[in-house]
Amino acid sequence: MRFGERLGAAVAEHGPLCVGIDPHPGLLASWGLAPDVAGLERFALTCVEAFGGRVAVVKPQSAFFEAHGSRGVAVLERVISDLRDSGTLVLVDAKRGDIGSTMAAYAAAYLTEGSPLAGDAVTVSPYLGFGSLAPALDAAAANGRGIFALALTSNPEGASVQRATGPDGRSVAQAVVDAAARANAGLDPLGDVGLVIGATVGDHGLDLSDLHGYVLAPGFGAQGATVADLRAVFGPELRGVLPASSRDVLRHGPGAASLRSAVDAVRRSLEM
């Protein structure tokens, strides 16, 4: 099955929630864990135990693992493997973006079967031009995986680039949306190229009607976005929207049971 098909099935079974695994040093401390590889591993594997088989998508933030060097990356590899073994889709939040052979190498690492870093999808940056993502698009299609391209992020600095207007009158973010829509054309029910649009961006001014793909909406929960905000930004039906919550769930650790209870509460809030 294509990634879009597998994601659709996962959302139908578990609801649209995407939960992050963000081993921030502050969170490790709040769990009573040391900011070292042992603490990282305990944190991450507790999250796997709590979330595996319970949510549609889990999103480990690669940077917090990379900060610990090769041993931290080895923990990330185990997290990806264990989540996939549980039947849970993994979105590796790496935000990679480059050109030519370098982008092809990133695609091999995160999207190619057999790579220990390959989840089911990866976040990518299109800001060297959407065409620079061609190796990732090709690898995703060949391996039944997906990508989520940054379109309109919630950080204030992003607006100066993403909302800038090009020669054709479209915003840069709209050009990314349109390129993703072309990549998804003809795929049913939804395509394999998703976008990242912050849940806190407010009136985004984007035309998403032809996207035919999923939208990852970070910022839900601890960063301030509510269900009402999601509906205001994306429309009342929220079709294809994956609200992403990390700290709002992770603060309930260190027990796996309390993390599961937090996930259940967030999922119930999305049904209201």
At residue 263's C-alpha, the angle toward residues 259 and 269, to 5°, is 145
Would you state the structure tokens that stand for residue 64, as one six-digit string?
């917090």
| Whole-number pLDDT of residue 223 | 64
Long-range contacts of 224-232 (CB under 8 A, 24+ apart): 224/200, 225/198, 225/199, 225/200, 227/269, 227/270, 227/272, 229/199, 229/200, 230/199, 232/202
**Along the 272 residues of the chain, how does pLDDT read in single tens digits?**
999 999 999 999 999 999 999 999 999 999 999 999 999 999 999 999 999 999 999 999 999 999 999 999 999 999 999 999 999 999 999 999 999 999 999 999 999 999 999 999 999 999 999 999 999 999 999 999 999 999 999 888 999 999 999 999 999 999 999 999 999 999 988 999 999 999 888 888 999 999 999 999 998 876 667 888 888 888 876 789 999 999 989 999 999 999 999 999 999 888 86
Our answer to whether residue 95 is catalytic in this structure is yes
Active-site annotation holder among 2, 24, 84, 95? 95
Q: In this structure, which amino acid lies at residue 31?
A: W
Query: Whole-model pTM?
Result: 0.96
| Whole-number pLDDT of residue 222 | 61
| Burial class for 112, CB neighbours closer than 10 Å (0-12, 13-18, 19+) | middle
| Whole-number pLDDT of residue 203 | 84
